[in-house]
Structure 1
Amino acid sequence: MTPFAPTSKSLLGALTVAALGLASGVQAADVSVYGILDLGLNYQRVDNGHETSNTFQMMSGQNAMSRFGFKGSEDLGNGLKLGFVLENGFDADNGQMKFNRLFSREAQVNLSGDFGQVKVGRLVSFLSGYNTTGLFGPKVSPFSTMWVGVPGHKSVMTGDFVPYDNMVVYHSPSIAGVKLHGAYSFGNDTTKATGLEEGSAEVDRLASLAMSVERGPVYFTLIWDKTFYGNEQNVGHFKDAEHVSAGGNVDFGFAKFFAAAQWFDGVRALGETELAGKDTLLANDAGVKSLDGMTGAGVNLGALIPVSGGRLKLNTGFMKAENADEADRDLKRWTVSAGYEYPLSKRTFVYTGLGYMNDSYGKAEDANRLGFASGMVHTF
């Protein structure tokens, strides 16, 4: 053995020292790695009023989108703290990234202090339920992600439950459990790709104001948001979309009850693609998209009940939406769902759910869908 060839023990020692050094550096910087793996099976039976289709497949992210992320913070002194979040979304069944982005779910830097917190970057809307900005989702519905075919509040409400680019978000300090929130997006993800001017009337922008209340077992939120469609991206000059949403929950210990309601106007898509023909509700007889979109309201009720060491989920919802141009494209929808989650450990649980959705149209036949989802979620 040459004097320069390391033995297995010396190599192991070197790696141990390096690992300890890396760990101490990460700890000093207060950086952590986290993630979720969600993988399972999904079945859907859809009757669109003319024919019936059946699908059975493996699916990722039914209960919670598979993801990994990095987050950290640094104390700047004088009551100020700087933080960041970089979060990726991916499909666990094939390894592909969501939305063809490295950090599709969140990419932001934030500054916190006595004034509250300011965030900038790619962030979700207040209507979303996930990450550090969402105020809705699992806080107002037991089926916050629909479980892919098992309906939740997103099936009877509209809006962008996804992240926005170029966002500035403000959260006020909590006063007796009450917080105020504001958000503005200077342009969606097509801005840089098309060469349009960010923050100008050429691009789609979002403005939102919200209030949230957390007092003991009670949570409530009220959200207003408006999408300003850009002149260049909006050749038809669509009516701007607007929502007023309210919801919350009360935890009685033996059960947690949820309720949410929403009024919407000028929306370009419903909470979920209509079952009887894609985009038919927003098209007029000439095949041109309705400029005024859809107007309507939705309501959702749910419960989370501890049963046999797990959690029983119950949910029902109703939505009525009207087409500005064609009454025969008006929609009434109702949903009902049930599910169960059972923990295998502190970080792993299994789930199963069954849901039904029915669509009734102005002059068309009814359409319906029966959905079943089952799988396992592991957090790290």
Structure 2
Amino acid sequence: MKKSLLALAVLGAVAGVANAQTNVTVYGVVDAGIARESGDVAGTAWKLASGVQSGNRLGFKGTEDLGGGLKANFQLENGFNVDTGTQRQGALFGRQAFVGLSGNFGAVNLGRQYNPLFIALDSIDPFGTGLTGASTNLMAGGSNGDVRVNNAITYTSPNMSGLSATALYGFGEQAGDTSKNRNYALSANYANGPVAAVLAYSNTNDNAASPNSAKVWLIGGTYDLGVVKAHLAYESEKADANFPTVGGADFRDWMAGVSAPVAGGTVMASYIKKTDKTNSAEGAKQYAVGYTYPLSKRTNVYTSYSRVTNDSNAQFFAGDASSGGPSDAAGNNTQKVGGTSTGFAVGIRHTF
């Protein structure tokens, strides 16, 4: 009898562990392509590119039901380069790392998280901020390139008839002045039927005694006509004169694009115009076209081409989901001032 009770207890414990494990999901993206980049100081380069359509990642996410509609949630996401096996973002879980609670009130999370501005831009870009037509080649995904924000607390509201909102506060963690290195961002999103719209704002301070700030506003949306989806966005980027990386910037960015089902896949195209309001000739424009084709629910092939034409004092280049931004290798894609940059890629992406 005692042995039977012990056996039942062991089986119950094992079942409990198995049940707990069902609430944890392991997921990821493996993406690689052949890319041709031209316009660099060194000329044209062919390479095996990592994460062209989507950044490569290995992630873990899970929930625990605490009762009464309350849940505990976590997500840990590592970024890596599939061509070399090396780590990206400079940290083990540099893509995302947070824990929080969710319920009828919405969700509160604490940790390294995406800037709501970037999420808003990603949702209306026909290229999904990936491939060589990524809107982030010219447009800002954060007020200081901060696509992800450290030391952040976020609140996301419940979806109310298609309308939801997200607020982020990133602690500067500087003794004596809570405004130093501080980040905050807001977004409102609406999706109902064929219409989707976003409004987002991001503000980042530096570490100066009297902090300088960089600010970005974004408004845009999509309209699905069935045979084609229209994409439109407008962005304002401004920074105080002494802000470290983009001091004195004052840009206006326009994006117009389309995406449509064609031959079982999706074709996409966009045009972006970046205007420098300081009359310093640091603007640019980008034309891009791409195509993705699903081989299965988890695997697709893709190709894309983009061309960036810089104003006389600008240095933007045709990047993709991974070859751009602060995580890029030093000196990679160094662009001639006032030059033209082109990017072409063909590759395969698998999600799991």
Q: Which amino acid aligns with 1:375?
A: G
How far apart are the structure 2 equivalents of 1:71 and 1:154?
A: 27
Runs of 5+ unmatched residues, structure 2? 1-10, 315-335
The DSSP-based 3-state class of the residue aligned with 1:136 is: helix
Note if 1:109 corresponds to 2:103: no
Q: 1:26 to 1:165 in 2, by over 3 A?
A: farther
Q: Which amino acid aligns with 2:137?
A: S
Q: CA deviation at 1:146?
A: 4.3
2:54–2:130: 8 Å Cα contact kept in structure 1? Answer: no
Q: Which amino acid aligns with 2:121?
A: F
Q: CA deviation at 1:135?
A: 2.6
Identity %: 30
How far apart are the structure 1 equivalents of 2:252 and 2:206?
A: 21
Write out per-residue CA displacement over residues 24-71 of structure 1, whole angstroms, 9 at most, x where no aligned residue.
625555111000000111111107xxx771111111011000101011
CA root-mean-square deviation: 2.9
Q: CA deviation at 1:22?
A: 8.6
The DSSP-based 3-state class of the residue aligned with 1:98 is: coil
How far apart are the structure 1 equivalents of 2:240 and 2:228?
A: 34
Which has the larger Rg? 1
Q: CA deviation at 1:179?
A: 1.3
The DSSP-based 3-state class of the residue aligned with 1:25 is: helix
How far apart are the structure 2 equivalents of 1:340 and 1:161?
A: 28
Q: Which amino acid aligns with 2:25?
A: S
| Structure 2 counterpart of 1:257 | 230
How far apart are the structure 1 equivalents of 2:182 and 2:151?
A: 9
Write out per-residue CA displacement over residues 215-240 of structure 1, whole angstroms, 9 at most, x where no aligned residue.
122211101111111226xxxx6731
Q: CA deviation at 1:252?
A: 2.0
1:157–1:297: 8 Å Cα contact kept in structure 2? Answer: no
Q: CA deviation at 1:346?
A: 1.0
2:252–2:277: 8 Å Cα contact kept in structure 1? Answer: no
The DSSP-based 3-state class of the residue aligned with 2:89 is: helix
Q: 1:214 to 1:256 in 2, by over 3 A?
A: same
| Structure 2 counterpart of 1:31 | 24
Q: Which amino acid aligns with 1:374?
A: V
Q: 1:379 to 1:365 in 2, by over 3 A?
A: closer
TM-score for the superposition, normalised by structure 1: 0.76
Note if 1:379 corresponds to 2:351: yes
1:35–1:379: 8 Å Cα contact kept in structure 2? Answer: yes
The DSSP-based 3-state class of the residue aligned with 2:218 is: strand
Q: 1:100 to 1:23 in 2, by over 3 A?
A: farther
The DSSP-based 3-state class of the residue aligned with 2:283 is: strand
Q: Which amino acid aligns with 2:235?
A: Q
Write out per-residue CA displacement over residues 211-269 of structure 1, whole angstroms, 9 at most, x where no aligned residue.
1111122211101111111226xxxx67310111012212222122211110111179x
1:152–1:315: 8 Å Cα contact kept in structure 2? Answer: no
Q: CA deviation at 1:344?
A: 1.0
